[in-house]
Amino acid sequence: MVLGHRGAKGLAPENTIASMKEAIKYNVDLIEIDVQLSKDGKVIVMHDATVDRTTDGTGYVKDLTSSEIKKLDAGVKFNPKFKNEKVPFLEEVIEFLKNYPNVRLNIEIKNGPVFYPKIEEKVAEIINDYNYHNSAIVSSFDHIALKNIKEIDSRIYTGLLFMSRLYNLEKYVEELQLSAIHPMWFYLTEDIVKSMHKNDIAVNTWIIDDMSLYKKFASIGIDSFGTNYPDRFNFS
């Protein structure tokens, strides 16, 4: 399966509805987004802890209210043709994806430099409000957040992000009650894939933007891969 990284990060302004539309145009199976919390507790779709890189604003997400964030332009820095594209809330993403029931959503809880109290509860509440358990997976490099969200709602699928070799991975996956692992491709081996599949754990890797790398990991049986350029992998 093909996962559009931050929508279609290479083709449109990341983590915007425009980027998700672009990814869907190329028949992705999943869309990945990142979430932070605003000053007033809204779940904001943004990769960085600050708004500086991707919008025309400045400051930490945690220090801005949701209404202040909504006034920002999240498209013009990528390309002027995306001028006035807005930063979405998690609810808005789910509302949009309800029109595409075959596309699943990977929600990544960001893991620093800011750690948000109660972000797991808020994400779980939104998933529950939309009855979205079968269409979403929550991932994070913050493995404590994954443990927390599973304790809040055991029905939520969770995926372990990592960029290293992990000791006793099978036991770790079992302890955290994970549904999937999301290793960077650099640390992924065929033995890991076989080990995970033996226990019905999905293996989703990232970021793969060229066909030769895709073929290498497709050959060892990965379940999905994230890409910035879904147009290069339009297999439908």
Q: What is the phi/psi pair of residue 26, to 5°?
A: -105, 25
Q: What is the pLDDT of residues 113-149, one digit of tens each?
A: 999 999 999 999 999 999 999 999 999 999 999 999 9
Q: Which tokens hold the place of 99?
A: 């029109």
Domain ranges of the chain: 2-233
Q: What is the mean pLDDT of the chain?
A: 97
**pLDDT at position 111, please?**
84
Within 8 A by CB and 6+ apart from 94, the residues are 105, 126, 130, 132, 136
| pLDDT-based confidence at residue 235 (cuts at 50, 70, 90) | confident
Integer angstrom CA distances of residue 101 from 23, 135, 202, 224, 226: 14, 8, 20, 18, 19
Active site residue ranges: 5, 47
pTM of the model: 0.97
Report the CATH superfamily, name and number, of domain 2-233: Phosphatidylinositol (PI) phosphodiesterase (3.20.20.190)
The predicted pLDDT at position 162 comes to 98
| 18 band by pLDDT with thresholds 50, 70 and 90 | very high
Helices 17-25 and 90-97 pack at an angle, to 10 degrees, of 30
Alpha helices in 1-111 (DSSP H): 17-25, 66-70, 90-97
Predicted local distance difference test score (pLDDT) of residue 112:
87
Indicate if the pLDDT at residue 236 is higher than 80: no
Side chain identity at residue 91, one-letter code: E
